[in-house]
Amino acid sequence: MNRLIIFILILTFRGFSAEAAKIILKPGQSIQAAVDGAVAGDTLIFSPGVYTASAVTIRKPLSLIGENYPVVDGENKGNIFLVAAENVLVRGLKFIRTGKSNMDDSAAIKFFDSKNCTVENNILEDAFFGLHFSNSSKLTIRNNKVKASATREFEVGNGIHLWKCKDNLIEKNEVSGHRDGIYLEFVTNSLAKENLIQGNMRYGLHFMFSHDNTYLRNTFKRNGAGVAVMYTKNVTMQENRFEENWGSSAYGILLKDISDSKVIGNIFRKNTVGIYMEGSSRIQFKENNFKENGWALKLMASCDQNLFQANNFSGNTFDISTNGNTVLNELKENYWDKYEGYDLNRDKIGDVPYRPINLYSMIVEKIPASVMLWRSFMVTLLDRMEKILPTMTPNEMIDHSPKMRPYDFG
Amino acid sequence: MFKLLKYALYDILKSRFAIIYTVFLALVAISIYQVSDDLSKVSLSLMNIMILFIPLIAAVFATTHFYNNLEFIELMLAQPVKRIHVFLSQLFAVVIMLSLSILLGFGLPMLLWGADGSLLTLLAVGVVLSSVFAGFAFLASVLTRDKAKAIGISLALWIYFSLVYDGLVLYVIYSFADYPLEKTTLALVMLNPVDLGRILMLMQLDISALMGYTGAFFQQFFSSGLGILIAVGALLIWMLFPNFLAMRVFKKRDF
């Protein structure tokens, strides 16, 4: 009887210790062997140093934790880690040099069919794809620094790439030098917040068919073509910054076929085009700051039922331009720094409506070279005449209640 | 030479025009600073005024100054001094006075309420445009013997460069819209000092929109120092060329 009790005790103890087992890896050791030798739930601790690894496959719940950022070198061969499991944690590792191939989309860490996984505090340098997730859910991607140094768009993949994932949190990551900073396709119900995405070759944020997501306090800066989002409904974008996206097809944000969404409290600064939108409907734009953009808004005639309310437009070269005479959107209570009306009844709302489209912006739209004559006396005269007797600019693009003072959004 | 310049300057200051002009510019700048809430708006409004009025005032003032001093110039020419010195002293006096008026009139409010890069560019463009149009005015003055005619020519040049020329360029752009016109427009702009000054300002104020241009050449032109360098070079040529021509005519002219 006593023996039996001891045996059971030993068994439970064994079981318990196995679950919490810590396996310490030394530099040079094979990661794959350590992974294969570990039991589900084990923690692999990486001592500081350099490990070489390629296509390390993880199929059980494990925690991989680095001390002092040990380097995991992919030696330019394919993927570094491949994960298909639940409850995997990867923390504090520095991944460098993945393969550079579009054949297998080489990535530093690639997740398939995984659940409840966390990738945090890692550094990724010179990866083709940084973090690559497909068909997974409940992922947490936090505090990673993903940096590539390619010079051309086709030489590099996306920083954080999610395909067909749901319920994720993407937080406080920094991505630079990749093709797209964050790429989401068929990703639903996720939250991206406080990421800093700058200097990527193509888009800072790029998503398609990714419904019900929220983007909060992210910064997208100096990306090749800004941010482009398409074919999605129920998006919330709040308090993000879109800055310094310069170029002939660079946009603070490009909205194509986006509907039922909210764009609130964002800052659009120094972009060639602040927002470009086509085929988008029922989006609310409120309390955004449009500052020093070439065009604050390019609102194509294919958009309908959008509402622009209580935004600040200041220091933009052109406030709005469009491509047709149909206007199915509503502008109200915005502040326009170019407004020249008066307010006799002192309700802080201008008594004359404001027409944000100016004649010359339509001309520039047709003949880009004519931007050279902008602000010349001749052009100012033309604009004045158009303001008095509108003939070319769409009549309904009008703010009936322009504010006299800018809003203070803090 | 310096003696001549000193007397010419003294003469201009005595005419009170310099003070009135400076005060006028200062008042304009102060009122704009008072009503605008940020610096980019200030430089925009000041630029609109500057592009239009400063060349006008420079042209008219330089012409009238030349004719008002014609007797003095003739007297000096009878003295054993070089013709070039007589001419240059008058020219420099006018340019110095016009530039000082701009620097003081616009510069003092800037010192008081702050300035940014675009406002400093504005000051420089103002000085350059003044000297360009003073050059035109001197050229018009030495080419004719009639004050009214000279003023007429100066005004015609002013209208041409600030209004008619842009209209023509716009017409050309519109007529040939189907062709790649980027380099042509850029070249056409180089042929007008007022437009050059304006482009320099655009590069400060509307860089985001200018970057919307297609083509690597333009990206480079606007984003690097190259554009500024070319524009400044062209402006320098505009500053020197009319003055040089006027000097040549003056040297040979029979008074």
CATH number of the domain within which A218 lies: 2.160.20.10
A373 interaction partners in chain B (CB closer than 8 Å) = 166, 169-170, 173, 185, 195
Q: A147-177 pLDDT, tens per residue?
A: 998 888 888 999 999 999 999 999 999 999 9
**Is A278 found in the same domain as A247?**
yes
d(CA B136, CA B154): 7
d(CA A391, CA A395): 8
Q: Which residues contact A121 (CB under 8 A, 6 or more apart)?
A: A91, A92, A142, A143, A144
**Is A216 found in the same domain as A231?**
no
Residue at A380 is within a domain: no
Q: How many CA atoms lie within 13 A of A201 on its CB side?
A: 17
**Mean pLDDT for chain B overall:** 89
Place of tokens 């709302």: A349
Q: Is B46 helix (H, G, I), strand (E, B) or coil?
A: helix
A314 interaction partners in chain B (CB closer than 8 Å) = 38
A384 interaction partners in chain B (CB closer than 8 Å) = none
Which of B37, B175, B192, B208 to probe the A interface (max A CBs under 10 A)?
B208
d(CA A209, CA A232): 5
A406 interaction partners in chain B (CB closer than 8 Å) = 37
* pLDDT surpasses 60 at A13: no
Q: What's residue A276's pLDDT?
A: 95
Contact A281, A256 (CB under 8 A): no
**Mean pLDDT for chain A overall:** 91
Of B41, B47, B209, the CB nearest to A371: B209
Burial class (CB in 10 A: 0-12, 13-18, 19+), B180: exposed
Would the CB atoms of A315 and B40 count as touching at under 8 Å?
A: yes
Amino acid of residue B141: S
Which of A372, A375, A381, A404 to probe the B interface (max B CBs under 10 A)?
A372
**Is A230 found in the same domain as A218?**
no
d(CA A43, CA A88): 10
Q: B197-238 pLDDT, tens per residue?
A: 998 888 888 877 877 776 666 777 777 778 888 888 999 999
d(CA A74, CA A127): 9
Q: What band does A230 get if pLDDT is binned at 50, 70 and 90?
A: very high
Q: A88-117 pLDDT, tens per residue?
A: 999 999 999 999 988 889 999 999 999 999
> pLDDT over 70 for what percent of chain A?
95
**Is A237 found in the same domain as A108?**
no
Q: B99-127 pLDDT, tens per residue?
A: 999 999 999 999 988 888 888 989 999 99
Residue at A384 is within a domain: no
Would the CB atoms of B173 and A370 count as touching at under 8 Å?
A: yes
**Is A243 found in the same domain as A148?**
no
Which whole-number Å values give the CA distances from A48 to A28, A67, A312, A321, in the listed order? Answer: 11, 6, 51, 56
d(CA B146, CA B253): 14
Model's pTM, two decimal places? 0.88
* pLDDT surpasses 50 at A10: no
Q: What's residue B23's pLDDT?
A: 94
Number of domains in chain A: 2
Which whole-number Å values give the CA distances from B52 to B47, B100, B147, B225, B238, in the listed order? Answer: 8, 18, 23, 27, 17
Q: What band does A358 get if pLDDT is binned at 50, 70 and 90?
A: confident
**Is A218 found in the same domain as A278?**
no
More confident residue, A39 or A10: A39
Q: What's residue A15's pLDDT?
A: 47
Structure tokens at A130: 């940084």
Written in H, E and C, the secondary structure of chain A is: CHHHHHHHHHHHHHHHHHHCCEEEECCCCCHHHHHHHCCCCCEEEECCCEEECCCEEECCCCEEEECCCCEEECCCCCCCEEECCECCEEECCEEECCCCCCCCCCEEEEEECCECCEEECCEEECCCEEEEEECCECCEEECCEEECCCCCHHHCCCCEEEECCECCEEECCEEECCCCCEEEECCECCEEECCEEECCCCCCEEEECCCCCEEECCEEECCCCEEEEEEEECCEEECCEEECCCCCCCEEEEEEEEEEEEEECCEEECCCEEEEEECCEEEEEECCEEECCCEEEEECCCCEEEEEECCEEECCCEEEECCCCCCEEEEECCEECCCCCCCCCCCCECCCCECCCCHHHHHHHHCHHHHHHCCCHHHHHHHHHHHHCCCCCCCCCCECCCECCCCCCC
Q: What band does A142 get if pLDDT is binned at 50, 70 and 90?
A: very high
**Is A269 found in the same domain as A230?**
yes
Contact B185, B217 (CB under 8 A): no
Mean pLDDT of A360-369: 84
Amino acid of residue A287: E
**Is A239 found in the same domain as A199?**
no
Q: Which residues contact A266 (CB under 8 A, 6 or more apart)?
A: A237, A238, A239, A240, A241, A242, A288, A289
d(CA A380, CA A387): 10
* A-proximal residues of B, 80-99, CB under 8 Å: none
Pick the range with the lowest mean pLDDT from A229-243, A282-296, B42-56.
B42-56
User: Could you tell me which chain B residue has the CA closest to the CA of A382?
Assistant: B167
* A-proximal residues of B, 24-83, CB under 8 Å: 37-38, 40-41, 44, 47-48, 51-52
Q: What band does A11 get if pLDDT is binned at 50, 70 and 90?
A: very low
Q: Are strands A160-163 and A182-185 parallel, antiparallel or unpaired?
A: parallel
Q: What band does A19 get if pLDDT is binned at 50, 70 and 90?
A: low
Q: What band does B253 get if pLDDT is binned at 50, 70 and 90?
A: confident
Mean pLDDT of A60-68: 94
Assess: ipTM above 0.95: no
Q: What's residue A4's pLDDT?
A: 52
* Last residue within a domain, chosen from A223, A258, A273: A223
More confident residue, B38 or A291: A291
Residue at A283 is within a domain: yes
Of A271, A369, A380, the CB nearest to B185: A369
**Is A275 found in the same domain as A207?**
no
Number of domains in chain B: 1
* pLDDT surpasses 80 at A146: yes
Q: What's residue A2's pLDDT?
A: 60
Q: What band does B177 get if pLDDT is binned at 50, 70 and 90?
A: confident
* Last residue within a domain, chosen from A191, A223, A255: A223
Q: How many CA atoms lie within 13 A of A359 on its CB side?
A: 16
Q: Which residues contact A38 (CB under 8 A, 6 or more apart)?
A: A21, A23, A44, A60, A62
- Neighbouring-strand partners of residue A142: A120, A171
* pLDDT surpasses 60 at A6: no
Q: What residues make up the domain containing B233? A: 2-252
Q: A314-341 pLDDT, tens per residue?
A: 989 999 998 888 889 999 999 999 898 8
Q: What residues make up the domain containing A327? A: 225-357+394-410
A377 interaction partners in chain B (CB closer than 8 Å) = 51-52, 162-163, 166
Q: What's residue B221's pLDDT?
A: 78
Amino acid of residue A161: H
Q: Which of A303, A285, A203 is nearest to A247 (CA)?
A: A203
- Containing B67, the helix (H) or strand (E) segment is helix B39-68
- Neighbouring-strand partners of residue A273: A251, A295
Q: What band does A16 get if pLDDT is binned at 50, 70 and 90?
A: very low
* Last residue within a domain, chosen from A169, A189, A223: A223
Structure tokens at A39: 């039991």
**Is A214 found in the same domain as A246?**
no
Q: How far apart are the CA of A31 and the nearest CA of chain B, in angstroms?
A: 47
**Is A235 found in the same domain as A209?**
no
